[in-house]
């Protein structure tokens, strides 16, 4: 029997983490309301990689049959020297089960939002919650509502996180990123990681003949946080002016680049109290260099819902944090290490590239084996 039968769960935030939590709680028998401050469920124009560990959660929530309509299956990841354009090696992703996928963010939100509505989840848009108590009450302009559990999936600037952990400002990581989507036909389903000293670019195709471009460079001066700051294309082009012709030509096609600073909090020490729990970026924002922020949010969502289905709340919430904290801390450390590895210079760079080349030739499966702790993990295993 699920402890969530007839329970009422509020989810603050209709991002990937919040919608996944809403769907998971609903699958375990709860009545769910999502409160989202934006007027519509939407995401910025950018791609997102969903790795097998996140894909297992989508499958457990009954979405497997729709995934090919919403995303591309990834064939490979290819580290490249951004200065010469040469592929350093190529790691085959095609044997991954469930498949490694490239989504447009808006498509993933569409998929999750549609599934939530079909499952009877109530989604209240244009509703900003003021999280000031942990007793299951949510307060908005429309008034006050009582729930058995409130899930704070309210992202990097989470009020729920502050309530549980005190105020703490996110810190600038010394990296800025530009994003853009360009038209591109007949692209292989491959993620290219173009590495240069102190900067890199990731490109991968999206459904609809598009190519997602994210360019990152180290910079000591602060750049504004957030996804919506326009920058002049010339600034992006100047930052990558010393790279190979193929990459420069891709970058030149980004007509309306968005520039923002990459910020982080440390992993929150406290993920729950009374009737409030947090997940996703609210609990543990990560740098994007391992493509795990959303995947970890999917894992959190399933783990939190399944813990609450299996035990009374007072046991379930500590069990949830205990199952998750070590894993997300490890993933975040690995993403931080990638930031350093992608940006090497001089001799270190030559040695690292030679190492990657040798690994790709002598032990092509070693790359994925090294990541098996991440990709092979199945948070849904004991609940089917």
DSSP, res 303? H
Nearer to ligand FAD, 265 or 353 (CB): 265
Does 299 bind ligand FAD (CB under 6 A)? Our answer is no
Residue 10 or 82 having the CB closest to ligand FAD: 10
Query: Closest Cα partner for 68 from 99, 92, 97?
Result: 99
Q: What radius of gyration, in Å, describes the C-alpha atoms of the chain?
A: 21
The DSSP symbol for 210 reads E
Assess whether 198 carries a catalytic annotation: no
The catalytic position among 100, 204, 342, 375 is 204
**289, 43, 26, 160 alpha-carbon torsion, rounded to 10°:** 70
CA torsion 279→285→290→296, rounded to 10°?
0
Nearer to ligand FAD, 15 or 257 (CB): 15
Which listed residue (154, 193, 353, 379) binds ligand FAD by CB under 6 A? Answer: 154
Least distance from ligand FAD to the Cβ atom of residue 14, Å: 5
Compute CA distances 137 → 131, 148, 274, 304, whole Å: 8, 9, 11, 19
Structure tokens given for 128: 């900003």
- When asked if residue 35 is in the footprint of ligand FAD (CB under 6 A), the reply is yes
Instruction: Candidates 2-10, 55-63, 153-161, 316-324: pick the segment binding ligand FAD (CB under 6 A).
Output: 153-161
Among 129, 268, 313, 328, binds ligand FAD (CB under 6 A): 129
Interface with ligand FAD in residues 263-282 (CB under 6 A): 280-282
Cβ neighbors of 309 (< 8 A, separation 6 or more) are: 2, 3, 4, 28, 29, 383
Residue by residue, DSSP assigns 129-158 as -B---SSSEEEETTEEEE-SEEEE---TT-
Among 292, 303, 306, 380, binds ligand FAD (CB under 6 A): 292
Phi/psi zone of residue 6: left (φ > 0), alpha (ψ -120 to 50 degrees), beta? left
Q: Is 261 in the site for ligand FAD (CB under 6 A)?
A: no
> Which residue's C-beta sits nearest to ligand FAD?
293
Q: Shortest distance, CB of residue 160 to ligand FAD, whole angstroms?
A: 8
| Closer by beta carbon to ligand FAD, 268 or else 353 | 268
Residue 155 as a binder of ligand FAD (CB under 6 A): the answer is yes
Classified as helix, coil or strand, 287 is coil
Window 209-228: residues binding ligand FAD (CB under 6 A): 214
Figure out which of the listed residues 236, 293, 306, 327 binds ligand FAD, where binding follows CB under 6 A.
293
In this structure, the strands spanning 258-264 and 171-183 are antiparallel
In which order are the strands placed within the sheet that holds 91-92? 91-92, 76-81, 190-196, 199-206, 210-218, 171-183, 258-264
- Which stretch, 7-15, 61-69, 89-97, 308-316, contacts ligand FAD (CB under 6 A)? 7-15
Q: If binding is defined by CB under 6 A, does position 36 make contact with ligand FAD?
A: yes
**How far is residue 205's CA from residue 340's CA, in Å, rounded to a whole number?**
25
How many whole angstroms separate alpha carbon 151 and alpha carbon 168? 20
| 44-63 binders of ligand FAD (CB under 6 A) | 48-49
Beta carbon nearer to ligand FAD, 35 or 240: 35
Closest approach, Cβ 154 to ligand FAD, in A, equals: 4
* Residue 9: Cβ within 10 Å count: 28
Query: Is residue 180 involved in binding ligand FAD (CB under 6 A)?
Result: no
Q: How far is the CB of 112 from ligand FAD (least distance, A)?
A: 10
Work out whether 288 is an interface residue with ligand FAD (CB under 6 A).
yes
- Residue of the chain from 7, 15, 331, 367 that contacts ligand FAD (CB under 6 A): 15
Residues 23, 5 contacting (CB under 8 angstroms): no
Compute the least distance from the CB of residue 312 to ligand FAD, in Å: 26
Active site residues: 204
Applying CB under 6 A, the residues found at the interface with ligand FAD are 12-18, 35-38, 48-49, 128-129, 153-156, 159, 177, 179, 214, 280-282, 288, 291-295, 297
């Amino acid at each position: 029997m699920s402890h969530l039968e007839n329970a009422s769960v509020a989810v603050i935030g209709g991002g990937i983490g919040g919608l996944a939590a809403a769907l998971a709680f609903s699958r375990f028998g709860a009545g769910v309301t999502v409160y989202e401050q934006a007027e519509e469920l939407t995401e910025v124009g950018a791609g997102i990689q969903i790795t097998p560990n996140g894909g297992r959660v989508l499958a457990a929530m009954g979405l497997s049959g729709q995934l090919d309509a919403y995303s591309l299956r990834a064939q490979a990841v290819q580290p490249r020297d951004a200065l010469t354009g040469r592929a350093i090696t190529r790691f085959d992703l095609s044997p991954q089960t469930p498949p490694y996928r490239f989504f447009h963010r808006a498509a993933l939100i569409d998929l999750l939002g549609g599934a939530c509505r079909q499952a009877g989840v109530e989604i209240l848009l244009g509703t900003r919650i003021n999280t000031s108590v942990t007793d299951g009450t949510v307060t908005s302009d429309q008034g006050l509502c009582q729930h058995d559990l409130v899930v704070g999936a309210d992202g990097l600037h989470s009020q729920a996180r502050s309530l549980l952990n005190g105020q703490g400002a996110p810190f600038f990581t010394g990296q800025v990123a530009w994003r853009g989507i360009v038209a591109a036909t007949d692209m292989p389903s491959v993620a290219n990681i173009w590495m240069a000293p102190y900067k890199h670019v990731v490109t991968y195709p999206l459904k609809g003949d598009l190519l997602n471009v994210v360019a990152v460079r180290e910079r000591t001066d602060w750049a504004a946080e957030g996804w919506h700051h326009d920058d002049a294309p010339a600034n992006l082009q100047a930052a990558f002016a010393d790279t190979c012709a193929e990459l420069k030509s891709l970058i030149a096609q980004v007509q309306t680049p968005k520039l923002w600073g990459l910020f982080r909090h440390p992993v929150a020490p406290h993920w729950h109290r009374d009737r409030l729990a947090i997940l996703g970026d609210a609990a543990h924002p990560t740098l994007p260099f391992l493509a795990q922020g959303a995947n970890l949010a999917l894992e959190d969502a399933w783990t939190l819902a399944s813990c609450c289905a299996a035990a009374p709340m007072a046991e379930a919430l500590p069990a949830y944090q205990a199952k998750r904290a070590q894993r997300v801390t490890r993933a975040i450390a690995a993403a931080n290490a990638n930031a350093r590895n992608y940006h090497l210079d001089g001799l270190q760079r030559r040695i690292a590239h030679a190492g990657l080349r040798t690994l790709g030739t002598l032990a092509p499966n070693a790359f994925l084996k090294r990541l098996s702790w991440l990709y092979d993990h199945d948070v849904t295993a004991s609940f089917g």
